[in-house]
Every structure is written in structure tokens, then in C-alpha cells.
Amino acid sequence: MTRKISSLIYIILMIYLFSIYAYSAELNFSNSTFSMKCRAAEFRPGELYIFEVRPNSGQKIVSVSGAFLETAMEFYAVGDAFIAMFGVPAKIFPHKYDTLINVKFDSGKEVSGSFELPIRKRIFKLSRLNVDPLYLEYTSETLQRIEVEKQVLIAIWKKTTPEKLWDGLFIYPIASEITLEFSIKRVFQGEFRSFHSGIDLRAKDPTEVLAANKGVVVLTGDHFFSGNFVIIDHGRRLFSFYAHLSAINVKESDAVEKGQVIAVSGNTGRITGPHLHWTIKVNSVNIDPVSITEMKIY
Ligand SMILES: [Zn+2]
């Protein structure tokens, strides 16, 4: 009887553990010389796809190159594997897309492979907001400011720090409720304006903002849309961005630890009420920050 109960507990525990890890989708491909694994929280727009290439033949891989969605992937050596992180844009058409992988072995041999990867349908909700008209009707000066700030950010997202600076899972910068999800279609005063580039976290009162992971502060400032902001470079073209801050506690080039207080939330920039806006960028693409807190990335 006790044995039956303990095996029942074991089964329940296994189901529970499986349900935790089932969040992550995984596909495996293999040919005679190398194998490739692709993981994502889900295979859908706005997610981080992680590619892992390993040798099958006992040979040593010296380099891997590849392309997905007509974009070159950057592979990094991790042990005997090569890893690439790839942000799938929120606006991509759901379809099966080819991934092209080219592997160079130490013997001088080069092998290419093509693998079909799914990007499944994802429905993004609509959010209707009313903001100060000042933030919708731009003067030419404001338009100029917006353009300059946009170019500053584009240059930041292109920065490449080859080292992996982060450590383990990412954490939420504020432990509170998500008030606006990722990539919601935002309609201001009845007119479609933009897709939400990250998530909003409830922070009615000024709340300490924590670094989502280890990294180096790459930029702080005050922009038209985001108000006071901090950007942390986590290496390998992975960045976290914190906006609408009332105070900033760090400066450019500061090394930060995961969980370190970097700022205080507020209501600066284009905003309908105080909250923290949090964006994650991978290879210049916005991905759903929720996924990065739930899946292991290399
Ligand atoms: Zn936001």
C-alpha cells in the first residue's frame, strides 16, 4: 500500500516537472555529420529562438554560420557546441521557414544543411488608449528629436559584445503585475499607432527597478517616448531597456549585478500613468520579455 502511494506521488511529481519544462518547445534535426537543436518558449512571432549545433561524427567544429528569415545568425562556441540566439520579429507572417546552416570542421571539411522551422500564428490583442494630444501631434522639432533618438537606439542595438555577460535566468525588474502585454497593437484616440515593444509592469508608486541580469550599462538618458531610461548590455547582442524612470542610479560603463537597484520607476515620457516599461532586444529585434524569464539561455 505504502509502495502504491509512493509511486503515485512519484507520478504526480513527474507530471508536475513535465508541466514546468513543457513551456519550452524543442525541435531536433540531424544529418550524418552534425545535429541541430532549436528551442523557444513557443515557436511563434516575438520569441527568442536558440540554435545549438553539435558534431555527430566525432570531428571538431571550428565555425558555424547560418541564416534564418534572410538574416545572418551569429554563432558562439560553447563547449563543443555552437550556439546562436535569434529574435523572431512580432510582425512576421506565420509559416514554415528554411534555416540554412553551414558547418566547418577542423579537417577542413564544410557541410551545409537546410532545416524547416515553424513560426506559428500568434494573435496580438488591441489596446485603446487616450494620451495627451501633445504626444500624438508632433511639431517638426519633436519629429526631429524623435528621429535623432531613434538613430541613437539603432546604433546601440547593433553593438556587439561577444562575451556572455548574463548569468542564468532573467528576473522581472519589478515583481508586479503585467498591465500591458508584449506587442499589443496600440490604438491612440482611435488610430493605430504602434506595436508595444515590451511589457508594462505595475508601479503606481515609485518602485525600485532591478537589473534583470548581469551586464554593463551601455546608455542612460531622457528620450521623447521613453522618458528617463537605462539600457543594459548583457553581451551577444542581448539588451534590456527600462523606461519612464523617475530616477537613475547608474551611469554608462557601470557593471551591474542581477537584482541590483539601477533606477526608480516613474511617469516620464509618453505615458498614460506611472509604470515601468521593459523591453528585451536580441539582434535588434524586440522579443517577449516573459519568455526570457522562463527559459534557459546560453
Ligand atoms: Zn510600455
Contact between residue 78 and residue 298 where contact means Cβ atoms under 8 Å apart: yes
Distance 67 CA to ligand 1 centre (A): 31
Which CATH number describes the domain made up of 126-292?
Answer: 2.70.70.10
Q: What is the pLDDT of residues 15-35, one digit of tens each?
A: 544 444 445 799 999 988 999
The pLDDT, as a whole number, for residue 43 is 95
Q: Residue 261: its pLDDT value, please?
A: 98
Provide the terminal-to-terminal Cα distance of the chain, rounded to the nearest Å.
Answer: 44
Question: What is the reported pTM?
Answer: 0.87
Three-state DSSP class for residue 175: coil
Residue 65 is predicted with a pLDDT of 97
Q: Considering only CA atoms, which of 109, 20, 45, 87 is closest in space to residue 280?
A: 87
Q: Over the stretch 86-128, which tens digit does the pLDDT of each residue have? A: 999 998 999 999 999 999 999 999 999 999 999 999 988 887 7
Give residue 21's pLDDT: 44
Distance CA 219, CA 209 (A): 16
CA 193 / ligand 1 centre spacing (Å) = 13
Pick the more confident residue, 153 or 189: 153
Q: Tell me the CA–centroid distance for residue 197 and ligand 1, in Å.
A: 7
* pLDDT for the residue numbered 20: 43
Predicted confidence at residue 22, as pLDDT, reads 43
**Which residues, at least 6 apart from 29, have a Cβ–Cβ distance to it below 8 Å?**
35, 36, 37, 38, 113, 115
Kindly indicate the confidence band of residue 10, based on its pLDDT and cuts at 50, 70 and 90.
low
pLDDT for 7 = 67
Q: What integer pLDDT is reported at residue 166 of this predicted model?
A: 96
Q: What's the chain's average pLDDT? A: 90
Q: Which residues surround ligand 1, an ion (CB under 5 A)?
A: 200, 277
Q: How far is the CA of 173 from the centre of ligand 1 (A)?
A: 14
pLDDT at 150 over 90: yes
CATH topology of domain 2-119: Immunoglobulin-like (2.60.40)
CA of 287 relative to ligand 1 center, distance in Å: 13
- So where are the chain's domains? 2-119, 126-292
Sign of the dihedral defined by the CA atoms of residues 202, 127, 238, 105, in that order: positive
Q: How many CB atoms lie within 10 A of CB 166?
A: 23
CA dihedral 236, 288, 97, 154 (to 10 degrees): -50
pLDDT on residue 82: 96
In this structure, what are the phi and psi dihedrals at residue 222, rounded to the nearest 5 degrees?
-135, 105
